[in-house]
DNA sequence: CCTGTTCTGGTCGTCACGACTCTTACACTA
DNA sequence: TAGTGTAAGAGTCGTGACGACCAGAACAGG
């Protein structure tokens, strides 16, 4: 990493054999959709500092594993889910004092899951729960460490990923209706999408979704049952739905 | 960072008081445009490992500085430039064995500068030089550590930033012609843009660029002198030039 | 004055997309 | 079994962005 080794570039304290020691952790922002609302999985801290406060799940990176591997392991330990496909790194955080105990640099990962509700219920419900992302963004809920900023960055990232990758399909089940998929976009971008136009964009013979032939059960109010689809293979080339310029500008202005 | 402290979550080796120690470094991918070609600043390693090979400039993070601060400091040490505005983090790298000496996690930063040619000439030309980015991408030039991957990720990032931020103006001077600005897009995206259409997109009364009234000196072959512009304040809301869907698809397929 | 080169401005066709309307299909109830 | 309500599926139209292409303007140099 060091490049030139002139005296001004390598003071004694930064000799490679005596580098400053850091703890490296991996924090995972686990997102899911519940009732057309974007939620984040938080755990309650059992010890100081920030004892009793809610935080993002995470843990130390081990020397013999990669960062991606550490994130995958933490996700599995917290939820039991082995979802390596949708685990993307979005940032590193190393402000001095962010952990009062020691020098910690953490790497943030974004995970998108479905059916986390059942998973959380399976664990001890007292120290793991789903919270609306809006509660974190508008500071209704205060988080430990700098986790508020980390969650905020994760949301910014998922908003972009939604436009350029197939991350939307990770929020829904293996089969889904177009209305379900549409609520994902609407909840994450905070916009209203015309159902007809959405359908035309997604079903446009490009292989975004594949009809399964099945039909969903209508809601309690009746209505025509929606067709069931499964994700196609075209999502790796950028998603079919794009934000309107007005909407994007709003987000930046926000 | 640790969340629950059950016995399975906290093996003795990962007690907070005895965390695994890592060195944390910051590596800066410094990009600039020379003769309509995208170049990256590399330095030659003076010591093992990878002695004599070219690498990205970087160095250890100090405990009392932020990651952004460390990147800013490294950039200043290498180039003397204090360009905090366009220094963006794009990834963290911590594969075991990426540095044979010890456990190192590095955070990659992207810096965009102009006039690096003069800066490099000012330093010892033997151990710092500009290389075409294409030489790194197609593996004509082999880099130390995993720096090839880091540069590749940085290029991926700058291609996206070019579309959604005003990073293009960082490659040109305070005043510039539209042709200069166009070559930035063409070099980074590897496309050809119609000069007339490019002009229309940029000068569309949105404040992307502000005419200064001055005119550039024509090239050696003559021609009409181009008007000089300076960057407007609208770039923070997303850039005016967007890739064609075909071009974006090519990049993913690549 | 002529020519070559580059910038600047204009036109046109295409296509993606949003707004809007209508039809279809099913559940539920009387 | 007929009627009603609801939501999905399908069509239409207008607008706006953008790329391809062309023409004029401005300057250097011979």
pLDDT digits (tens, 9 = 90+) for A54-91: 999 999 999 999 999 999 999 988 887 776 558 999 99
Say which CATH architecture domain A167-253 belongs to: Orthogonal Bundle (1.10)
Q: What is the mean pLDDT of residues A2-29?
A: 64
Q: What are the backbone dihedrals phi and psi of residue A253, each rounded to the nearest 5 degrees, phi first?
A: -70, -25
The reported pLDDT for the residue numbered B245 is: 52
The spacing between the Cα labelled CA in B108 and the C1' in C6, in angstroms, equals: 40
The reported pLDDT for the residue numbered A175 is: 86
Spatial distance between the Cα atoms of A163 and A19, rounded to a whole number of angstroms = 41
Calculate the alpha carbon distances from A248 to A76, A198, A235, A254, B220 in Å. Answer: 34, 18, 21, 10, 43
Which CATH superfamily, name and number, covers A21-162?
Answer: Nucleoside Triphosphate Pyrophosphohydrolase (3.90.79.10)
A196 touches strand D (CB under 7 A): yes
pLDDT band for position A220 (50/70/90)?
low
The reported pLDDT for the residue numbered B252 is: 38
CB < 8 Å from B in window 160-179 of A: 160
Which residue minimizes Cα–C1' distance to C17? A197
For A128-181, the pLDDT digits (tens) are 889 999 999 999 999 999 999 999 999 999 988 888 777 888 898 888 888 888
The reported pLDDT for the residue numbered B65 is: 96
Closest chain A residue by Cα to residue B123: A4
In the predicted model, is pLDDT for residue A226 greater than 60?
Answer: yes
Residues of B in contact with A1 (CB under 8 A): 23, 25, 27, 55, 58-60, 99, 104, 106, 145
B4 touches strand D (CB under 7 A): no
Q: Where are the domains positioned within chain A?
A: 21-162, 167-253
Give pTM, 2 decimals: 0.86
**Mean pLDDT, all residues of chain A:** 81
Q: Which of A163-177, B111-125, B164-178, B236-250 has the lowest mean pLDDT?
A: B236-250
Q: What is the mean pLDDT of residues B147-176?
A: 90
**Mean pLDDT, all residues of chain B:** 81
- Of B91, B85, B22, the closest CA to residue B56 belongs to B91
Calculate the alpha carbon distances from B33 to A86, A122, B38, B238, B247 in Å. Answer: 35, 55, 5, 21, 21
What percent of chain B is predicted at pLDDT more than 70?
76
The reported pLDDT for the residue numbered B173 is: 84
């Amino acid at each position: 990493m060091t490049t030139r080794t002139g005296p001004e570039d390598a003071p004694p304290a930064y000799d490679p054999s005596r580098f400053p020691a850091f703890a490296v952790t991996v924090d995972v922002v686990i997102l899911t959709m519940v009732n057309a609302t974007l939620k984040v999985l938080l755990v309650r801290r059992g010890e100081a500092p920030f004892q009793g406060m809610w935080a993002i799940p995470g843990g130390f990176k081990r020397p013999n594993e990669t960062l991606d591997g550490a994130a995958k392991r933490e996700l599995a330990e917290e939820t039991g889910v082995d979802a390596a496909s949708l685990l993307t790194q979005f940032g590193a955080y190393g402000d001095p004092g962010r952990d009062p105990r020691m020098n910690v640099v953490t790497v943030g990962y974004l995970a998108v899951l479905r059916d986390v509700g059942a998973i959380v219920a399976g664990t001890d419900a007292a120290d793991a729960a789903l919270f609306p992302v809006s509660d974190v963004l508008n500071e209704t809920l205060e988080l430990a460490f700098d986790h508020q900023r980390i969650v905020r960055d994760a949301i910014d990232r998922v908003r972009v990923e939604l436009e350029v990758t197939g991350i939307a399909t990770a929020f829904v089940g293996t089969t889904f209706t177009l209305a379900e998929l549409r609520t994902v976009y609407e909840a994450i971008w905070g916009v209203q999408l015309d159902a007809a136009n959405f359908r035309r964009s997604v079903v446009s013979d490009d292989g975004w979704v594949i009809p399964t032939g099945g039909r969903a059960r209508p809601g309690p109010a009746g209505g025509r049952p929606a067709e069931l689809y499964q994700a196609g293979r075209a999502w790796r080339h950028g998603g079919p739905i794009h934000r309107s310029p007005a909407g994007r500008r709003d987000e930046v202005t926000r």
